[in-house]
Amino acid sequence: MNTIKACFVVAATIGCSAVHAATPAPADNNCGALPSHTQLKAALRASILPTGGPENGGFNLNMWATVVDRNGIVCNVAFSGDDSGDQWPGSRVISAQKANTANAFSLPGLALSTANLYSAVQPGGSLFGLQESNPVNTLVAYGGSPNDYGRPNDPMVGQRLGGVNVFGGGLALYNANGRLVGAIGVSGDSSCADHNIAWRTRNTLNLDHVPNAISVSGDSTRPDNIVYDITPQVGQMPGVSPSGWGHPACNGSVAGIAASLPTIP
């Protein structure tokens, strides 16, 4: 249980009493169709430079990854380093937000990556305000012992975190039969690198049998890939995306890396 204090005023006297806020009970899940903690960690480590993987156009940092099932229930949380402090601590929850977002806004016949949401949620965009919906459950996000974060018994496992994240790093997961089974979120580097790493991790897990997507990149072999079509506009940051689904390029190399990511089966 988490203990919080409720304060009240009686005759100009302030008093506080302890109130217990119960952590939500674990929900029924479909995690059996998704990778184990060991599989997720191995695939993540194979996808980044610090642990023998490729360059992804970011800072080459250690990373967090979270997988959720189709109901948005967290199935596993892993980190690539030797300890939870080897990657940005704040990226644990962000990785879970990204997984929740990609799952929540993808369909059996239409994948939507978190990278595709960036332009649409900007002021004046077609999905402005989406990032304020589906708030994070903070009891789930920060409950339990930090010593368990990123391990098989991470306190988020079995819970619905919620949250919406609107930059690169979240991808829907489709099994070999093309069935949508959940999503993965990756965080811990630049948003562009996060997308590339999530893409490689999904590919390693053989959960990238994407049937269709909104991508306007013109590359049908990478349907829910990040779209780099934002052009500068004076007085506006970051510019204008002609497609409405564009994402800023974090540096000069990321577009080339995205164009060379593994193709879908």
> Interior CA angle at 134 toward 203 and 40, to 5°?
25
Name the one residue in this structure whose structure tokens are 């999905």: 127
Q: Is omega for the bond preceding 242 within 30 degrees of 0, making it cis? A: no
Structure tokens given for 3 = 């203990």
Instruction: Let me know if domain 26-259 sits in CATH 3.40.50.300.
Output: no
Res 43: pLDDT: 98
Banded pLDDT at 232 (limits 50, 70, 90):
confident
Res 72: pLDDT: 98
Render pLDDT for 46-82 as a digit per residue (tens, 0 to 9).
Answer: 999 999 999 999 999 999 999 999 999 999 999 999 9
Question: Global pTM?
Answer: 0.89
- In sequence order, what are the beta bridge partners of 65? 78, 186
Res 10: pLDDT: 41
Q: Say how far apart CA 223 and CA 9 lie, in whole Å.
A: 58
How many other CB atoms are found less than 10 A from the CB of residue 259?
13
Banded pLDDT at 7 (limits 50, 70, 90):
very low
Render pLDDT for 111-141 as a digit per residue (tens, 0 to 9).
Answer: 999 999 999 998 888 899 999 999 999 999 9
Domain range summary for the chain, segments of one domain joined by +: 26-259
Banded pLDDT at 26 (limits 50, 70, 90):
low
Res 109: pLDDT: 94
Fill in the DSSP letter of residue 142.
H
Q: Give the residue, 201 or 16, on which the prediction is more confident.
A: 201
